[in-house]
Structure 1
């Protein structure tokens, strides 16, 4: 059995998450893909009804929604400002950066705000699966055809106060999904901001497709109000992160400073700690 303390902590984590996001337990149930009865059992501390597998499932979900230690690097601040601007002024913002620059970490942190919905586009998704994922993120249990799903998403966004839709891995979006997102944007542009985050090739692929006259791409590209490209960590930022993790040996610090991307730097730090513990 999962330890009682784990279950008590899980109850607190769920309550904290719902409070931070400004959502109901029913919304959380949809997002986490669990029943309301399960959440009721947790809320009322009926621990005998909560299996080990359920504890692990909810722990995994909550872990995916957290970021660990955050560093206010120039890129992190830029992502926060881009999201703020999109949310406040209903802009559609293109955010690009190479893998490991911290896009997802920063966007995950921002998505803990109320009325912010973050979905990651997966290459294996078809349009209906994408919009099902988006509706689930919004805490909405809804089934229908693509037209009705887009309408439902638009209705939900238009009744929120300054909502923001974040789509991570946007560079992988297929042409049909892009056309459907264009429809969604047209229905919500007076009330909702959008952040499209992807690799640097995201913008270039859109430009090339627009130049070839591919259906709807020019229109979609024009509706992206502003682009921002992440620069990566400065030497000073890298040095601070390394020392913040307790690594002070000058030789090891200099070795780690070669990692310009946040993800690569954190991997290097993790490996260094593992090696140090084994010695």
Structure 2
């Protein structure tokens, strides 16, 4: 655990605290982390902080000792524009894009530099209470002892008190219907106060369209609230891969072409291939 890495964590943490609004809110949004610990890091009082805790904080705020340089891909620019519009004007949008197109990374970058923006990476096992728990956690709100109704009321109250808040539901297609209906509730109670963006693969648009045809509860309402439109991302282009390769130390044309062909439009694969080429694996 080098001093350089600790300084990197401190610098990243300072931005994270500023984005959340205070050390207490930042601590509440992190698992297993107290405000006192954050204060120790920021004040260079390191003697009682274990390496495990340093890594815990670093991983949760997106600080890594491994060098990787991101670039503004075509989809990154589209996503950024949609998120900015949603946050500034309290609009609601739905985005669809292939797995590995860089959606999640784009969301993480946006929320780290834009105050009052909250990212939820949805999961299949979430019930209504877990959904609200996760949202309150990223908002840095203490929800201990709250019922589901009280949690929802607290979310609405906090968001209405903020300037231009934004909720991003990544991998929204993983949510079961009972939780997806909460999107309708959030929209109804936060209309013109909070932007909301749903994002997933095209499975989400297919699911919504199928639900409408089968007249399933809530699906017409969801479709109406997203403007009856899914914004489709463009996917990973050769230009995108070229820029990523050059930013990360690969500039010969043959290697770039090979990486693009092998990646099949998946940026995770691009990263693996760049590592393989640089390390001659």
Fold shared, TM-score > 0.5 on shorter chain: yes
Equivalent residue, structure 2, for 1:38: 37
1:172 Cα shift?
A: 0.7
Are 2:25 and 1:51 equivalent residues in the alignment? no
Name 1:24's counterpart in structure 2: 22
Note closer, same or farther for the CA distance 1:76–1:12 as it changes in structure 2 (3 Å cut): closer
Count of residue pairs the alignment pairs up = 274
Give the structure 2 partner of residue 255 of structure 1: 258
Determine the structure 2 residue equivalent to 1:202: 204
Taking the aligned partners of 1:44 and 1:22, their CA distance within structure 2 comes to 18
Q: Which runs of 5+ in 2 are unaligned?
A: none
Q: CA deviation at 1:32?
A: 1.2
- Preserved contact between residue 232 and residue 262 of structure 1 (Cα < 8 Å): no
Q: Does 28-37 or 62-71 show the bigger shift? A: 62-71
Does the 8 Å contact 1:27/1:140 carry over to 2? yes
Residue aligning to 2:154: 152
**Within 5 Å, which residues of 2 pair with 1:13-162?**
13-19=12-18, 21=19, 23-33=21-31, 34-63=33-62, 68-112=68-112, 113-143=114-144, 144-162=146-164
In structure 1, stretches of 5+ residues that fail to align are none
1:188 is matched with: 190
Q: In the TM superposition, what is the alpha-carbon distance from 1:42 to its structure 2 partner?
A: 2.6
Contact 1:97/1:198 (8 A) holds in 2: yes
Q: CA deviation at 1:9?
A: 4.1
- CA deviations on 1:160-208 (whole Å, 9 max, x unpaired) are 1111101111111110101122111111012100010101110110110
CA apart distance, 1:217: 1.5
* Separation in structure 2 between the aligned mates of residue 230 and residue 78 of structure 1, nearest angstrom: 7
Cα separation, 2, equivalents of 1:217 and 1:65: 40
Summarize the Cα distance change of 1:65–1:91 in structure 2 as closer, same or farther, 3 Å threshold.
Answer: farther
The alpha carbon displacement at 1:12 in A equals 3.1
Please report how far the alpha carbon of residue 4 of structure 1 lies from its aligned counterpart in structure 2 after TM superposition.
5.1
Is the partner of 1:94 in helix, strand or coil? strand
CA contact (8 A) 1:75 1:233 kept: yes
Q: Secondary structure at the match of 2:62?
A: helix
- 1:217-228 matches, cutoff 5 A: 217-225=219-227, 226-228=229-231
Query: Paired residue for 2:275?
Result: 270
Task: Provide TM-score, normalisation by structure 1.
Answer: 0.90
Residues 224-239 of structure 1: pairs in structure 2 closer than 5 A: 224-225=226-227, 226-239=229-242
How many angstroms apart in 1 are the aligned matches of 2:2 and 2:102?
Answer: 34
User: Which of 238, 244, 247 is equivalent to 1:244?
Assistant: 247
Deviations along 1:115-164, whole A, 9 cap, x unmatched? 10001101122221111111010010113222211111111111111111
Deviations 1:45-88 (A, max 9, x none): 33232222211211111227999533222211100111011112
Using a 3 Å threshold, how does the CA distance of structure 1 residues 43 and 268 change in structure 2: closer, same or farther?
closer
Q: How many Å apart are 1:266 and its aligned residue?
A: 2.2
Residues 7, 47 of structure 1: 8 Å contact kept: no
